[in-house]
Amino acid sequence: MLTKLLSKVKQEKQQKVESPVKKENTEDDKKAVIEKLKDVYLSSRPNLSWDLEKYKMPKIDTVYYIPNFITEEDAQYLNAQIYTQPKERWYHLAHSNRRLQKWGGDVTKDGLDNQEPLPDWLEKISEILQNEHITQKKTNHVLLNEYEAGIGIMPHTDGPLYHPYVVILSLGSSIFFEFFKNYQAYKSSDYLCTLLVEPRSLLIFTDKAYHEVLHCIEDNKIDFIQVHYKVTEDNKLEVTHTNVDNLMQTNYFKKLEEEVLKDPKIEKGVEYKRVDENKRETRISLTIRYVPEMNNK
């Protein structure tokens, strides 16, 4: 028994030595990314007019999900900008073990106070959102939240002060983003809608989803994606049941479809079930909105 134990300890030590150490990006690395990508940041986008009806979620009429709204390079540039900001820009929320950056000013019950212009890297997003007719007004405020794995946010609404829409750009980890009719529904786990929000996606909600419906992110380290599916006779993947309401719009589904249709063991017409783990890592959420100025009230 002792021999086996010593052998196991020796093996674990050997694995630790052989395992590559993950190198964290230094400040200089992040600045190098900014310098490299600043000229191409959001530059390859055509001037589009999005038909949001194509991205409407089935269970809530005024929630829209656009996958891959920005490129991998754009995400790298944004991430580098975020993490080269001075430490004074970060606000620590002790009650939720979360930290954030506020850009554009302070939101008060009377409107936007201490207003400041958005930095270029956020101003460009605001211009695109308006030029591509996603937002009616040019957004002037960004709340940038950092969520470590296992950290979420309690159910809440974002109204009624802001112009009635919220636009959320996600970086980093995928998470489950859940909507509930009211707090009682939340307590009884009666979901109105569950979305898999992936990195580089844009989540938009307005009207009823903005004023009345609660949304939250549970304090989970792992989300479980459940899918029942079968392959049809014309070789298409048909989802018969899932706990993710935007499954068909996700990159997860594209990978699943490619994997299943190439699997020679899959029989057509037979229903299969699978549960995949989405292990959360650090996620950055950019909540982008228009806040009326105090002197415009």
Domains and CATH numbers, the chain: 45-221+280-296 (2.60.120.590), 223-278 (no CATH)
Tens-digit pLDDT profile for residues 38-62? 999 999 887 777 888 899 998 888 8
Please check the confidence at residue 15 and state whether its pLDDT lies above 80: no
- Residue 244 CB neighbour total at 10 angstroms: 22
Q: What sign does the CA torsion over 126, 129, 131, 136 have?
A: negative
Please check the confidence at residue 78 and state whether its pLDDT lies above 60: yes
User: DSSP class of residue 23?
Assistant: P
209 pLDDT tier (thresholds 50, 70, 90):
confident
Please check the confidence at residue 267 and state whether its pLDDT lies above 90: yes
Which pLDDT score, from 0 to 100, does residue 76 have? 97
Please report, rounded to a whole number, the percentage of residues in the chain having pLDDT higher than 70.
89
Which pLDDT score, from 0 to 100, does residue 166 have? 86
- Contact yes or no for 202/167 (Cβ under 8 A): yes
The closest of 279, 66, 59 to 179, measured between CA atoms, is 59
281 pLDDT tier (thresholds 50, 70, 90):
very high
Q: Provide the mean pLDDT of the chain.
A: 87
Which pLDDT score, from 0 to 100, does residue 26 have? 87
Please check the confidence at residue 181 and state whether its pLDDT lies above 50: yes
The closest of 125, 100, 123 to 284, measured between CA atoms, is 100
Q: Which residues in 165-199 are b (16+ Cβ under 10 Å) and which e?
A: bbbbbbbbbbbbbbbbeeeebbeeeebbbbbbbbb
Here the tokens at position 125 are 């997003």
Please check the confidence at residue 7 and state whether its pLDDT lies above 60: no
Which pLDDT score, from 0 to 100, does residue 295 have? 63
Please check the confidence at residue 96 and state whether its pLDDT lies above 80: no
Distance CA 135, CA 144 (A): 18
Distance CA 198, CA 173 (A): 7
Which pLDDT score, from 0 to 100, does residue 10 have? 45
Long-range own/partner contacts, residues 109-117 (CB < 8 A, 24 or more apart): 109/161, 110/294, 110/297, 111/161, 111/291, 111/292, 111/293, 111/294, 111/295, 111/296, 111/297, 112/140, 112/141, 112/291, 112/292, 112/293, 112/294, 113/294, 115/140, 115/293
- Contact yes or no for 283/147 (Cβ under 8 A): yes
- Contact yes or no for 160/131 (Cβ under 8 A): no
Query: Which amino acid, one-letter code, is at 189?
Result: S
pTM of the predicted model as reported, rounded to 2 decimal places: 0.86
Which pLDDT score, from 0 to 100, does residue 163 have? 67
Which pLDDT score, from 0 to 100, does residue 75 have? 97
